[in-house]
Structure 1
Amino acid sequence: MKAKAVRLHAANDLRLEEFELPPIKDDEVLVRVVSDSICMSTYKCATLGVDHKRVHEDVAEHPAIMGHEFAGDIVEVGAKWADRFKPGMKFTIQPALNYKGTMWSPGYSYEFCGGDATYCILPAEVMECDCLLEYTGEAYYQASLAEPMSCSIGAFHAAYHTQMGVYEHEMGIREGGKLAIVAGAGPMGLGALTYALHCDRRPSLVVVADINQDRLDRAAELFPPAEIKAETGIDLMFINNGACDDPVATLREASGGTGFDDVLCYAPVAPVVTLSSAIMGRDGCLNFFAGPTDKQFSAPINFYEVHYGSHHVMGTTGGNTADMVESLELTAADRVDPSVMVTHVGGLDAAADTTLNLPKIPGGKKLIYTHISMPLTALDDLRSKAAEDERYAGLADIVEANRGLWCPAAERYLLEHWAETE
């Protein structure tokens, strides 16, 4: 059957192409993709090409479909999986397969599997690793965003704390402790924030630090500290560390002078890493979450405190299937709203340019709907485009009525009113 997809041919060479999908094998599943959210990891993949650890050497001959945060409908199921999956099921996937020690992953490594496509084929290893997940919710975008949410959830679970002389780690952020999210007003930081405020193992204090005041202001609108305190009992603060004469002193003062039990660092920038290290308290755990493209990236941290203050530094990339399931369950229960990450929507025709220019486009997550044709559009700009296309007015009405956030009603309207690309 015919499919359209954004495919990687070489570094900085993404092409929207139509091609023939082969018939599925007995151990494969054919799916119709509806939504894919674009990840900074996809930008890194697209700009590095074969230098990326997940991209195969013959990508020029066998181009890889981009996108790994996708959801849609199952179309056809190979005989091996017919007892578990049925045509018509909504699905999402956990792309971190960890299959037999390989780094291959949907959205990076496969000629016929990725999210920036109208249709794709899930290879056998996706099912063998239990990474094909049925989604029973209404909105496809929520399932797409379960993957980036699972990455932050994994970071919370991977944190650990210690006791002097005891050689066992207590896993997870410190319950009732103090949490700082540094460079945290971007899309992934907001995902971490909504999880921190509504998960089962919660801190008592969350401080979000960032140097972008516009992003901090938007975060404070989405998460008003007084309302959060009344709802959860958690103290929430937003601090522009770029406007502080002494950011370390300001943030440590915000912690009550003790430093933070847990620090999540969301930018691969040396001064940000050093700041994150400096604000930890005793037995503090620093998760360096943001993956750098520079293989030689390094930053000064305080090894005196590593030795005497039991500071520990670790990093996570992606979540596991349990994290993904937790994200889906929390979203279905309306405990977390992943739409706080989304600032733009567009069609498949916008995916290639959006991916290659991702660091230059302000805002949060860029959400692609693969069966429509639509330029990448900021949610804040929907109203201004209504004069040229009246469909935008209806979309703007829905988004504005929902505090400027994407929502299931907006998705329904979009899918009903925009033309199919196939």
Structure 2
Amino acid sequence: MLEVHKLVKTTALRLYGKKDLKIDRFELPEISDDEILATVVSDTMCMSSWKLAQEAEDHKKTPDELSDNPIMIGHEFAGKIIQVGKNWQDKFTAGDDYVIQPNLARDDTPFVPGYSYPNIGGDATYVIIPKEVMELNCLVAFHGAAYYEGSLCEPLSCVIAAFDAQFHLIPHTYDHKMGIKEGGNLLMLGGTGPMGLLAIDYAIHADTKPKTLVVTDLNQEKLDYAKRLYPSDEVKMVFLNVNNLSISEQKELLLKAVDNTGYDDIFSMISVAPLVELAGQILNPDGCLNQFAGPVKKDFAASLNFYDVHYNFTHVTGTSGGNAQNEAQAAEMIARGTMNVAKVITHVLGLNAAAETTLSQPEIGGGKKLTYPGKKFDRIELAKVAPDSELGKILAKHNGLWSPEAEKWILETMPDI
């Protein structure tokens, strides 16, 4: 156990302005009775961090004058509690592992961990967890096999929130039952990115399952990867390559996949107006379209057929992040082994490579980039690890996937930052 002094030095990646990320080493202040000191062991990257770095002070969740008030970035993190302020010692204990739901959903401010604070973010060795995280039940105990699993609780919580936000009419009423339609047809447009893969995994393992799940993408290799990793004996799985197809051709193909019966639930995992409009056209009566992907442009818009809204009760929803309950559910599912979230990890790296990787996520491609903030090593693409290397042999034991054994090797082998 770390011997706690009044001041602890942290090494952190902080944002100073647009595309201006720097690694700083500085002393954290002594925690107050309302705060908690913790380590960060792992953090997975989200495209939201790329958007944050592009927008900087223009982002709604950042403070003004970032050059003088830099913030720690990274919001999908897990670690260990080191010291607990007096006011939280009845709920939290030093030595416990934790995850955080960064979406605090406060009415008074948009500020959240990983976007807004100088002393808490996933790309850091030590952080101070502010009282509002605990007050809103967003500090969650984690009992999984590895820290990377804890990091992926936050993205999974976003998926759970989206599924929970779906709604359908209870027959002969105007009341709604929340969630996807059980035994219905579910479509994921552009569903082979890391969030799409988590959504596929959740769809086939949640208590409420569709009859048919259709997933589209432009890349056959990514579709084949998803098909291989997510088989199901309970759900009919269909993976469709829509590359070079017109909207009308896509419509025909998508309807054919479900015997021209249409879709009860559609998740748009990309922000493309013609595809959103196509989704509206193939909804069943009482069908629900979820704009899952966060549009980059604030004026993103698409047409909606209001005849169908009025007479066929089609409707639209959307979510941005999960909540504390979703985080707790994700932590429980992952710890129980219901889902193997390692399937979405394609790269691992040390804190020294976090700035370049954050800014280059679209060009790098692949799935989740997993950072170990306490370590120093260049980004590793798992698919390109030499099979006869020590790490390659570990990956081979787990079908090429990241694993608790691989994490243990990184933490024991790689140099500290």
The TM tier, using the shorter chain, reads over 0.9
1:43-97 alpha-carbon deviations (Å, 9 max, x no partner): 1111101111100113221100000000001111111111111111111101011
- Per mean C-alpha deviation after superposition, the further-off stretch among 394-403 and 81-90 is 394-403
Could you give the per-residue CA deviations for residues 335-366 of structure 1, whole angstroms, max 9, x where no partner exists?
A: 11111211111011111111111111110110
The 1-side partners of 2:96 and 2:381 are apart by 30
Aligned to 1:75: 82
Give the match for residue 396 of structure 1. Answer: 392
| 1:350-401 CA distance string (max 9 Å, x none) | 11111111111110110100111111111101117x7xxxxxx111112122
Partner residue in 1 for 2:237: 236
Name the counterpart of 1:36: 43
**Contact kept? 1:116, 1:370, Cα under 8 Å:** yes
> Equivalents in 2 of 1:85, 1:91: separation in Å?
10
User: Displacement of 1:165 after TM fit?
Assistant: 6.2
Partner of 2:188: 181
Question: So what's the TM-score if we normalise by structure 2?
Answer: 0.95
Distance 1:200 1:239 in 2: 25
CA distance in 2 between partners of 1:189 and 1:271 (Å):
19
Deviation at 1:243, TM superposition (A): 4.8
Local SS of the residue matching 1:275: helix
Match of 1:96 among 96, 100, 103: 103
Which of the residues 404, 408, 411 maps onto 1:408? 404
CA distance in 1, matches of 2:320, 2:167: 16
- Is the Cα–Cα contact under 8 Å of residues 341 and 365 in structure 1 kept in the other structure? yes
1: distance between equivalents of 2:273 and 2:235?
Answer: 30
Q: Which residue is equivalent to 1:365?
A: 368
- Aligned AA (1:46): A
| Other-structure match for 1:257 | 260
Match 1:280 to one of 280, 283, 291? 283
The one-letter amino acid of 2:288's match is C
Identity of aligned residues (%): 45
Matched, 1:323 2:326: yes
Please provide the CA RMSD for this pair. 1.4
C-alpha contact (below 8 Å) 1:6/1:352 kept by paired residues: yes
Q: 11-20 or 146-155: which moved more?
A: 11-20
Aligned residue in 2 for 1:297: 300
Q: Select which of 407, 410, 417 maps to 2:413.
A: 417
Change (3 A) 1:40 1:271: same
Number of paired residues?
A: 408
Q: Aligned AA for 1:237?
A: V
Map 1:375-386 onto structure 2 (within 5 A).
375-383=378-386
2:314 is matched by which residue type in structure 1? H
Contact 1:99 / 1:125 at 8 angstroms: preserved in 2?
A: no
Q: Is the CA contact 2:181–2:265 (under 8 Å) kept in the aligned structure 1? A: yes
Give 5+ residue unaligned stretches, structure 1: 387-392
CA distance in 1, matches of 2:251, 2:372: 42
Counterpart code for 1:162: L
Paired residue secondary structure (2:175)? strand
Aligned counterparts, 1:203-218, within 5 A: 203-218=210-225
Match runs of 1:144-155 below 5 Å:
144-155=151-162
Query: Equivalent residue for 2:269?
Result: 266
Say whether the 8 Å CA contact 1:28–1:122 is kept in structure 2. Answer: yes
Does structure 2 conserve the Cα–Cα contact (< 8 Å) formed by 1:244 and 1:250? no
| Partner residue in 1 for 2:337 | 334
Which of residues 20, 23, 27 is equivalent to 2:34? 27
Does the CA-based 8 Å contact 1:287-1:313 persist in structure 2? yes
Separation in 2, partners of 1:279, 1:327: 31
3-state DSSP class of the match of 1:92? strand
Larger deviation, residues 273-282 vs 136-145: 273-282
Displacement of 1:296 in angstroms is 0.8
CA apart distance, 1:322 = 1.2
Unaligned ranges ≥5, structure 2: 1-7
Equivalent position amino acid for 1:359 in 2: P
Tell me what 2:4 maps to. Answer: none
Runs of 4+ in structure 1 displaced over 4 angstroms?
A: none
Is 1:183–1:272's contact at 8 Å kept on the other side of the alignment? no
